[in-house]
Structure 1
Amino acid sequence: MTYVLGRVKAWNNAMTAFSKRADPWSQTVHLLEAMPVDIARTAPSQKTARAESAFLERLTRDWNRTHPHHSDDRLPFPQAIVRVIERPSSATALVYWSDPGTCHYGYQGWRATTATAEGVCSLSGMPIHRGDQIYRPSQRDPKPQNASAMILAAAMPQNAEEMEVDLHD
């Protein structure tokens, strides 16, 4: 163990001297090339991994017990902030979408279509039934994280006065 610590200390001293005269990119490359193999982290034993997993499960369970999360389980994106920014045409809308659990789109294009499945309006929380007129995020590659989201056409603002203009509440 003393041998390894001595090598690590010598390596650290060499890196300190090198860092005083080299640019950050050269330092990074040099550190990657010069890192001793014997100080690399080894995989934890199965016993250690099980103990860590059990600890994390207890910690999560205790946190959830003392900090209950109340949300409407009907909503596929319960924490999403959704605002219509602009209506370029009657069949399209630009939507601000921010969900801390999945994604953030500052100016996401949405298109008018017909609902093919049951759901909940992301703007109003009203139920959506198959066949209702809705708006959905425009499909592109890669598929947006909120591709399953829907806004009822009846809940969609029709003019600038109905839209929320201040996105920085």
Structure 2
Amino acid sequence: MFETCVDVWSQTVAMLAHACTGQEEPARTRGDERRPSAVANVQEWAQPTVRVLERSSAHTLTVSWCDSRTGHYGHQTWQERIAKRTGTCVLSGRSIAAGDHVYSPQVRGSPPPNAQAMIIASYVDDCPVA
């Protein structure tokens, strides 16, 4: 019974990740459906799908964020700020240093699961909005 539940859960997580990222599902090998580690494998290749929808103001963006682990935000407001820590731009994959100008999700009340995500401000300035 437990193996069946794990199998159904693994398939559900894989399908949700596939729907959000538009990537192909990972190839299955014989016996994958019975391994509890299948959920961990999905998390390794599932990356958020992030699109800048519009520049809402001089210092804010409206962003669409879809990720199987942190959720879906269709119209999330991201605010320009100075990075307080190093990180990686979720759009370009470029490294971010503390002190760089970035956009990150606006936090009012409890922070969303993607609150630590950042987009390099110069990357948005160089690219057209979706």
Which TM-score tier does this pair reach, normalised by the shorter chain?
Answer: 0.5 to 0.7
Q: 1:68 to 1:80 in 2, by over 3 A?
A: closer
Q: 1:158 to 1:92 in 2, by over 3 A?
A: farther
CA displacement 1:27-61 (0-9 Å, x = unmatched): xxxxxxxxxxxxxxxxxxxxxxxxx69xx6x7224
TM-superposed deviation, 1:79: 1.3
Aligned with 2:109 (options 141, 145, 149)? 141
**Runs ≥4 residues deviating over 2 A:** 67-71
Identical amino acids, percent of aligned pairs: 37
CA distance in 2, matches of 1:138, 1:68: 28
Aligned residues: 101
- Aligned residue number for residue 153 of structure 1: 121
CA displacement 1:109-137 (0-9 Å, x = unmatched): 01110000010001111100011000010
One-letter code aligned to 1:122: V
Larger RCO (CA within 8 A; separation ≥ 6): 2
One-letter code aligned to 2:94: M
1:99 aligns with 2:67: yes
1:59 aligns with 2:59: no
User: What TM-score do you get using the length of structure 1 for normalisation?
Assistant: 0.52
CA RMSD of the aligned region, Å?
2.8
CA displacement 1:9-29 (0-9 Å, x = unmatched): xxxxxxxxxxxxxxxxxxxxx
Q: 1:95 to 1:69 in 2, by over 3 A?
A: closer
Q: Larger helix proportion, structure 1 or 2?
A: 1
- Aligned residue number for residue 16 of structure 2: none
* Structure 1: unaligned runs, 5 residues or longer: 1-51, 72-77, 165-169
1:115 aligns with 2:83: yes
CA distance in 1, matches of 2:43, 2:73: 25
CA displacement 1:63-93 (0-9 Å, x = unmatched): 47xx68754xxxxxx5101000010222110
Q: SS of the counterpart of 1:155? A: helix
CA distance in 1, matches of 2:126, 2:42: 38
Q: Larger strand proportion, structure 1 or 2?
A: 2
CA distance in 2, matches of 1:69, 1:139: 25
* Structure 2: unaligned runs, 5 residues or longer: 7-33
